[in-house]
Amino acid sequence: MKLKYRFSQVLVFCVFILPIIVMALFSYANLRRDLNEVVLARRNAMAELAATFMKEKLDRMVDLGISFVSRPSFAEFVKEGKWKEASDILKNTLADFPFIHLFFLTDTKGTLKAGYPKETQLIGQNFAFRDWYKGVSRDWKPYVSEVYETRYEPFYKVVAISVPIKDELDAPLGIMAFLVKLDVFAQWIEKYKFGQTGFLFVVDHKGHLVAHPKFHPQGDIIDFLGHPAVTAVLRGKDGIGILYSPTEKEERLTAFKPVPGYGWGCVVTQSVKEAFHAHDETLKVAIILYLVIFCLLSILMVFILRYISVRRAAEEKMRRLNAELARRVIQLKDLNKELEAFSYSVSHDLRAPLRSIDGFSRIILEENKDNLDERGKDHFQRIRVASGHMTKLIEDLLLLARVSRCEMHFDKVDLSGLAQKIADDLSARHPQRDVEFSIARGIFVRGDKMLLEQALINLLENSWKFTSKHARAKIEFGLFKENGEDVYFVRDDGAGFDMRYAGKLFGAFQRLHSDGEFPGTGVGLSMVQRIIHRHGGRIWADASVEKGATFYFTLLS
Counted domains in the chain: 3
| Whether residues 387 and 465 fall in one domain | no
- The maximal CA–CA distance of the chain, rounded, in angstroms, is 115
Predicted pLDDT of residue 152? 80
Predicted pLDDT of residue 528? 86
| Whether residues 386 and 480 fall in one domain | no
Closest CA to 437 of 445, 449, 425: 425
Is residue 293 assigned to a domain? no
Whole-angstrom distance, CA of residue 50 vs CA of residue 43: 10
| Whether residues 399 and 416 fall in one domain | no
Note the pLDDT tens digit of each residue in 514-528.
455 555 555 678 888
Is residue 80 assigned to a domain? yes
Say what the pTM is: 0.51
Predicted pLDDT of residue 128? 94
Whole-angstrom distance, CA of residue 524 vs CA of residue 510: 10
Q: What's 437's domain CATH number?
A: 3.30.565.10
Contact 155, 144 (CB under 8 A): no
Specify the amino acid at residue 48.
E
Give the HSE-up count for residue 312: Cα atoms under 13 Å, Cβ half-sphere: 1
| Whether residues 203 and 261 fall in one domain | yes
Residue partners of 465: CB distance under 8 A and separation at least 6: 518, 519, 520
Last residue of a domain, one of 405, 424, 452: 405
> For 169-276, where are the alpha helices, taking DSSP H only?
182-189, 228-233, 272-275
265-271 and 250-258 strand pairing: antiparallel
| Whether residues 131 and 227 fall in one domain | yes
Whole-angstrom distance, CA of residue 521 vs CA of residue 466: 14
Predicted pLDDT of residue 180? 95
Specify the amino acid at residue 350.
L
Structural domain containing residue 193: 19-275
Closest CA to 103 of 150, 53, 55: 150
pLDDT along the chain (557 residues), means of 10: 59 68 76 82 91 94 93 91 90 82 93 80 89 95 95 89 93 94 92 86 95 92 90 92 84 93 94 86 81 76 64 75 74 53 55 65 72 71 64 60 69 93 90 91 91 88 86 92 91 83 62 52 75 88 86 86
Predicted pLDDT of residue 22? 76
| Whether residues 398 and 518 fall in one domain | no
Residue partners of 431: CB distance under 8 A and separation at least 6: none
254 backbone dihedrals φ, ψ, rounded to 5°: -130, 125
Sheet holding 265-271, edge to edge: 209-211, 199-203, 265-271, 250-258, 239-245
